[in-house]
Amino acid sequence: MLDGKHALVTGGGTGIGLAIARALADAGAQVTITGRRESVLEEVSGGGITYVVMDVTDEESVQDGVAAAVANSGPVQICVPNAGIAEGRALHKTDTEFWRRIMATNLDGAFWTVRESLGSMRKTEWGRVIAVSSIAGLKGLKGAAAYTASKHGMIGLIRGLSEDYLGTPFTFNAVCPGYVDTEIVTRNAKAIAERAGISRGEAREMMVGANKHGRLIAPEEVAAAVLWLCGPGSDSVNGQAIEIAGGQF
Ligand code: NDP
């Protein structure tokens, strides 16, 4: 289905990004995954997946990283800004350094990744931008205003670009998962447990319960939605924020 297409997946060495990279590679795409830890990327590369080390909080690193990916594998026709960090803090504990770190990773990183990828995509006849936002991109997540703002921002970016490029062969969508079974949930269970004075198991159960169907989502379920947005017949789906959360939020 995706033979001859080059896909770029930021944060593609782990979790949701890795599941997306594998699904796209299985469908025939040449996939470039990015992240800061070369050993992690190296371990999962092969079988249609290559890697570029890139820090999405650094504009020059994104420019150089995307340029290297294009030089290696051709124009980026599927761009998946997925790299992100999920940390929560009450407003009075949110200093500028914390705010900037969340924004730089989740929002600046997505902006630079899409802008740099579009340079090559626009020279082709078909393209998809699929941002990994969150349910926190659509509703407020208690105790995580900065994260919520960054994920809302990603959806704003996608909606704005979908208007800018109307009538072109390029579409812009976001997927918005609920709690997905990755390291982020494990790390957050630890942080919530410490903050709330409960066990990690109880904290994890709180996250499981927040998904409407009462279970964690598999990374592959998010990847399946991304694959569908790249598949035949998806051309008219544009500017959407698609919930993958087991129910409506
Ligand atoms: P992971 O922690 O496994 O993935 C995050 C990825 O982002 C890592 O591969 C990491 O690689 C990369 N990354 C983080 N910071 C940077 C940076 N500065 N530069 C480059 N890469 C970076 O968690 P998930 O797979 O769960 O998260 C993926 C996305 O999904 C995130 O945007 C997250 O907000 C979103 N999401 C996750 C949910 C969940 O419940 N798990 C729910 C909803 C959305 P490295 O550290 O090597 O740089």
Question: Could you tell me if 69 and 159 lie in one domain?
Answer: yes
Q: Would you state the pLDDT for residue 195?
A: 85
Atom of ligand 1 nearest to the CA of 40: 47
In a domain, 168, yes or no: yes
In a domain, 193, yes or no: yes
CA atoms of 234 and 31, how far apart (whole Å): 20
In a domain, 1, yes or no: no
Question: Could you tell me if 115 and 190 lie in one domain?
Answer: no
In a domain, 57, yes or no: yes
- For the chain, the average pLDDT equals 96
Question: Could you tell me if 79 and 12 lie in one domain?
Answer: yes
Q: Is 179 a catalytic residue?
A: no
Question: Could you tell me if 195 and 206 lie in one domain?
Answer: yes
Question: Could you tell me if 45 and 108 lie in one domain?
Answer: yes
Question: Could you tell me if 222 and 212 lie in one domain?
Answer: no
In a domain, 201, yes or no: yes
Ligand 1 pocket, residue 237 CB under 6 Å: no
In a domain, 226, yes or no: yes
CA atoms of 75 and 204, how far apart (whole Å): 41
Ligand 1 pocket, residue 241 CB under 6 Å: no
The band of 249, judged by pLDDT with boundaries at 50, 70 and 90, is confident
For residue 167, the CA-to-ligand 1 centroid distance in Å is: 32
Ligand 1 pocket test: which of 44, 85, 87, 147 has the largest number of ligand atoms within 8 Å of its C-beta? Answer: 85
Domain extent at residue 190: 181-216
In sequence order, the β-bridge partners of residue 242 are 175
Ligand 1 pocket, residue 159 CB under 6 Å: no
In a domain, 249, yes or no: no
For residue 206, the CA-to-ligand 1 centroid distance in Å is: 21
Question: Could you tell me if 159 and 211 lie in one domain?
Answer: no
Give per-residue pLDDT as tens, 155-201.
Answer: 999 999 999 999 999 999 999 999 999 999 999 899 889 888 999 99
Question: Could you tell me if 90 and 194 lie in one domain?
Answer: no
Contact 98, 119 (CB under 8 A): no
**24-to-35, 100, 134, 166, 171 alpha-carbon distances in Å:** 18, 32, 20, 25, 17
Say which residues have a Cβ less than 8 Å from residue 93's Cβ, sequence separation at least 6. none
Classify the phi-psi angles of 124: left when phi > 0, otherwise alpha if psi is within -120 to 50, otherwise beta.
beta
Question: Could you tell me if 113 and 81 lie in one domain?
Answer: yes
Question: Could you tell me if 164 and 210 lie in one domain?
Answer: no
Q: φ, ψ for residue 172 (rounded to 5)?
A: -130, 115
Question: Could you tell me if 37 and 143 lie in one domain?
Answer: yes
Q: What is the mean pLDDT of residues 114-120?
A: 98
Q: What is the mean pLDDT of residues 62-71?
A: 98
Domain containing residue 154: CATH number: 3.40.50.720
CA atoms of 49 and 163, how far apart (whole Å): 32
Number of domains in the chain: 2
For residue 50, with 0-12 CB atoms within 10 Å meaning exposed, 13-18 middle and 19 or more buried, which class applies? middle
In a domain, 92, yes or no: yes
Ligand 1 pocket, residue 144 CB under 6 Å: no
Question: Could you tell me if 55 and 138 lie in one domain?
Answer: yes
For residue 224, the CA-to-ligand 1 centroid distance in Å is: 18
CA atoms of 181 and 70, how far apart (whole Å): 31
Which secondary-structure segment (H or E) carries 138?
none
